[in-house]
Each structure stands twice: as C-alpha cells, then as structure tokens.
Chains A and B, each alone.
Chain A
C-alpha cells in the first residue's frame, strides 16, 4: 500500500466509520440523557428498568423500532415517501465530516491521524450549505404522506427552517470577520493565536453572536420552544406523523444528530473548540495533558463543552412553553435578523483596528 492510498483512502474510511458509529451511539445516549435530565427536572426518575440504572434503554428503544411494522400509507407517493427520511439523515451525518474533535493528530501504528475527517478551507460554508438540505426531507415527508397533519407540519417546518437560516448565517459572519478563515480547524487555531475564545473576545465579546446562533439553531433543529413542526398537542407528530418503525427512527436520528452538530458548531465558533476551559485564564497546565495526553485532552474539553451546550438545550425544553407559528416568524424576521445585522456591523467596526 502506497503512503498516498493510506493517507487519502484507508485512514479517512476508518475515520468515517468510527465517527459515524460513535455519533449513532451518541444519539442513542443523548436521548437517554434527555429523558433522564428532564425527568429529574420534573421530579421523576426517568427510565431505570432496562439494564443498570436504565443504561440499556436506548438499545431497547432501537430494537423496538427495528421490529415495528413499517407502514406506507395507501395513497402516499411511495418513492418520495421512501426518500424523505434519507434526505434528512444524510446531510445531518455528512456535516460531521468537517468537525474537528480535537487539536493534535493521533499517532496510530506510526501513521498520523488527524482528529477530523477532513479540513476544507470552506468548512463553515459547507456546514451551512449541507444543513439547509434537511428542509427538503421535511417538505418531501409532509407532501408524500398525503395527509393533512403532516402537510401542515412540513409547511410550518420548511418556513421556519428557511427563515431561521438567515440569522444563523448572519451570526456566523462575525466569526468569519474575527478569524479570517472559514476552515473549522483554523477558526479554533485563530482563537488559540489570539489567546481568547471568541465568546470573550475583546473589545466586543461575541455574546450576542452566541445567543443568535443558539436561538437560531434551536429553531433550525425544531427544538423547544420552537418545536412547532412536531407540536404534539396541535399536529399530532408534525411532518413524520405517518412514518413508523425504522423510517420514523431516521427522523428522530436526524433531529438529535442536528442537535449534536449545533452543539459542536457552537463549541468551535464561540467556545474555543478543543481549547481547555482554563484557556486564557491559566497557563496551559501540564497536569491535564499529563493525565490524558494532548489529543485526548482536547477531545475531553471539546466533548465537555458540547455536553454543556446540549444540556442547555434540554434545560430550555423542560422550562419554556411553545411559541405560536406567527410569533415565531415575527421573532425571526423582526428581531433576530436586524439584531444579527447590527451585530455584524459592530463586530466589523470593533475588528477594524486589527486590519
């Protein structure tokens, strides 16, 4: 095997398999985490029957979904009905290709393996582009079901996702200004070079940017308080009402994948990616590096931050009521977009002295 084959074919393939499987497992346990965290917030105990402390619950859920009957409604458009869940999962999975999970490369059997699948110089654009493709799946699912509730749900969802794409994109512009690159790896490296997370960037901390991105991401991923498309009390289950079994599970999978993805992006753009929590406050400690090794330390901090972002997701879900459709639109167009524009301008002015 030539070194090129190894570098460009074998290693990426292995990385893809590893990331994909880890993400699937992460989704399964994110569901469990969500159920547990929300249960504790609601003075309940959550799942605790399957396995020790309910730890095998996700496995049982997956098994259940696998053996459920796969129903296609009689008058559904079969082809589109079949394609919709695929259209929604593929972008969610593909987006992870440019996420750097840590900073320094591993060395496995003498081969250097970077802790990201690929580092393209338009990483951020790629992410924006590919995550917007998910809308197609939603619209297709609603249309193909040939049923009223899914149609209403998918229309809502499509309008919502398209609207919130704008503040989402705008909130990212300020990061591009600050880092001067669209590569996900270089964005974190820029934060390392400037010695501060972009969240705490001086003279203009990116708090507004984080807020904008987080709120837009909540809406993008159809999470509470913007979970109208699947508002159970109004539309039964929204665009995936007619889906069952594994196809339903794919929608579920995509939603949680997108949650994790949003957590990763927030971490990379605003929270310094794999940089330690003490970064910029304390000098780089030998202790943590000693404990985990450089790559694993980065991974640890990265995952910790992603976890905290996801925890905020769950917390919000347990706390807030749901917006109404028109209110959601008003919030998006009349408040978030002007705010995002203002934010970009302020960031640009603040960044002027640095040229």
Chain B
C-alpha cells in the first residue's frame, strides 16, 4: 500500500457523492487524479428488454424507472416515438400540456442537481432550499396524476387527464415565487469565493471534445455549442414558444452551473407562456384500439434535462416492439468524466460527478 506512489481507490458503488451506485476506480498520485475508470451496471434492470417484451402502452411505466428524477421527460420521448411510428396526430391542448409538464420536470430535475451538487461541494443549506421548491413541483405533479416520482403521465395520442381545476393557477403561483428563490441561490453561490474556487476552471471541456464524446444537454451548451433539440429538431409545441438557449464559453464546472441556473429561468418562462396559450379542446387524439405500428424503424429524440434523450424503435408490425433502444444522455455524458477529471484533485471528482448530472437509473437502464 505504501510502497508505490500510485494508489488505487474505489469510489463507490456505496459512496454518498456518487449519486447512486456508480463505481469509480481512481488511480491517485497523492491527491492528484491520474486516471478514472467508471464502472457502471449496478442498477441495470433491463428496461430496453422489457420494452421489447411488453406491449407499447404497457412499456410506458418502465420508462419512468430509467431517469427517475425526470420521469416525465422519459415518458414523453417514448410516447412521441410511438406516435410518430403510428402517424397519430396529437391535439394541440395535449401538446401544450406536455410542454408545461416537461418544463416543470426540467426545473425539478435541475433543482435536484443544484442541491446535490452544492451539497457535494459542502454548501449544505442550498440542498434543502432546492428541495423546498422541488417539493412544490412534485405537489403539482401529484395533483395532476397522483404520483410524485414515477408519473406514467402521458398516453399514446394525448394525455390521460386534463389538468384538474385550479391546477394552472397553482402552477402560476409557483412560477411567481420561483425567480426570487433562484436569486437566493445566486446570492448564496454565484459570487461566493469558495464556490468560485471550487468550480472555476475545474473540468474544462472544449466544445469539439464535447462533441467527440457525444456529450449533450447543458454540459454541451456550457462548452459553447449551440445545440438544443427543442430548437434544432423542434417537437411538441416548442416551435410556438419563445425561449433563450443559455450558452457558456469556457466549458468549466462554473459555466455548466450558470447554464443550468439560466435554463431554470427559461423553463419557467416557457411554462408561463404555455399556460397562457393553452388551447381548449380534446386531449386525446384518434388512436386505434390495438396499437400496432406499421413495420419500420425510427429514431426520435427530445431535449431532456440532462441532454439528448433518444429512443430508437424497430417495429415489426406486432403489438410489441422488435427493438426498443434508449439513448441515455447520462450514460454518454459519463464517458467524458475521465477526460474531465484527469489532473485534478480527489476533492474535484465529486464536483465533477455533480456537474455532469448523472442519474444511475438512466445510465444503466
């Protein structure tokens, strides 16, 4: 153990800051990181295989279990893929409802990220403040579909239920309070010297390197690459809504932090717009009783809170998919971790796990 200068350390799979059951094999020289090897698969539950085993509507519940922090986004991308395979029209009201819920989900997911990221770096209180706001969003989801984490909140061709009475006002009330809360977080962290010291220049990811790794979402945009699927390949009601795509310049942990903070503000803007524009009418489109998409294959992706959430689906014309593959942004982004952490100190590794914002359910599927 003390003979050589290199030391190998196992971080996880049971470790408070790996956000689940990620295992990292660290090769250290003192406190300096020489190499990191992520070992994944501890939370593998065969979601893709289940997607090939169950009928299309039945498999929606399994998408909840992948990225359990942003279950609605997973629901949505899966259902939209089937709708595109089927060629079903989704009524506008349902589209807008989806946008409202997806953006609330993005805020909730980013809040969880901010809280745990700050907690990893030692700012304990921010964690609980974030949970206070996240709680309000979960309450909204609970009022909408009865579940707080695994919503199963989308149906093929539309939505299962309309918003309950007063729900939109409740959501607006949240949107009214939220900016002041965001300002509080900025006050606590953004100009805090210690926070700056811990995040600025840590884990710099250049734009082209990020693209090489296939990194997507806020991590990519913090590196200055303007790629947001809501803009690039518009889906649902996004083309009719106004929002900015925040970009970073340096691609360090601090930039990723700022990008996500601004994204929350933009999401709130989208929620308010979508609620104001919410059209009347049906919430379910015309869907055949038995869902048997015609033979064919399709890749469809959404902008999830963590990046490009994609589904590649092959239909053989029966009631179950022939192949159902999920492109998980967490898994792909995690690849960049060794690149990010080489040469930094052990203490930075927790900041870096936090900054790429992984959910192990999403990594392992």
Contact = CB atoms under 8 A, between A and B. Distances in A.
Interface of A: 38, 41-44, 148-149, 152, 224-225, 227-228, 231-234, 236, 317-327
Nearest to A330: B197
B122 interface: yes
A43 B118 CA distance: 17
Contacts of A148: 1, 7, 9
A43 B132 contact: yes
Given A234-B17, A324-B348, A325-B347, A225 B124 contact: no
B181 to A, nearest CB: 11
B347 A234 contact: yes
B346 A322 contact: no
Residue in A43, A224, A319, A320 with the greatest tally of chain B CB atoms within 10 Å = A320
Contact of A321 (B7, B122, B346, B348): B122
Nearest to A233: B17
A317 B194 CA distance: 13
Contact of B197 (A38, A318, A319, A327): A327
A233 B198 CA distance: 14
A193 to B, nearest CB: 40
Residue in B9, B124, B188 with the greatest tally of chain A CB atoms within 10 Å = B124
Nearest to A318: B125
Nearest to A323: B194
**Top 8 A-B pairs ranked by shortest CB distance?**
A322-B122, A233-B17, A42-B128, A321-B123, A321-B122, A321-B121, A324-B347, A233-B120
Contacts of B120: 233
A233 B122 contact: yes
Contacts of A227: 122
A327 B1 CA distance: 27
Interface in B106-129: 118-125, 128-129
A177 B125 CA distance: 41
A324 B198 contact: yes
A38 B132 CA distance: 15
A233 B129 contact: no
Interface in B25-57: 31
Given A319-B188, A324-B197, A43 B129 contact: yes
B122 A320 contact: yes
**Interface SS of B by simple majority:** helix
B350 interface: yes
A18 to B, nearest CB: 35
B220 to A, nearest CB: 25
B286 interface: no
Nearest to A41: B125
A234 B188 contact: no
B299 interface: no
B345 A326 contact: yes
Contacts of A152: 31, 346
11 contacts: A225-B122, A232-B16, A233-B16, A234-B17, A234-B347, A317-B124, A319-B123, A321-B121, A321-B122, A324-B345, A327-B197
Contact of A42 (B16, B129, B189): B129
Given A323-B194, A324-B345, A236 B122 contact: no
B347 A228 contact: yes
B5 to A, nearest CB: 14
A38 B127 CA distance: 13
Nearest to B32: A326
B155 to A, nearest CB: 37
B345 A325 contact: yes
Residue in B118, B195, B350 with the greatest tally of chain A CB atoms within 10 Å = B350
Interface in B332-360: 345-350
Contacts of A232: 16-17
Interface in B129-147: 129, 132
Interface in B187-207: 188-189, 192, 194-195, 197-198
Contact of B31 (A317, A322, A323, A325): A325
Given A318-B124, A321-B192, A322-B194, A231 B347 contact: yes
Given A38-B125, A148-B7, A319-B188, 18 more contacts: A42-B125, A43-B128, A228-B347, A231-B122, A233-B17, A233-B120, A234-B346, A320-B192, A320-B194, A322-B122, A323-B194, A323-B197, A324-B197, A324-B347, A325-B31, A325-B345, A326-B345, A327-B197
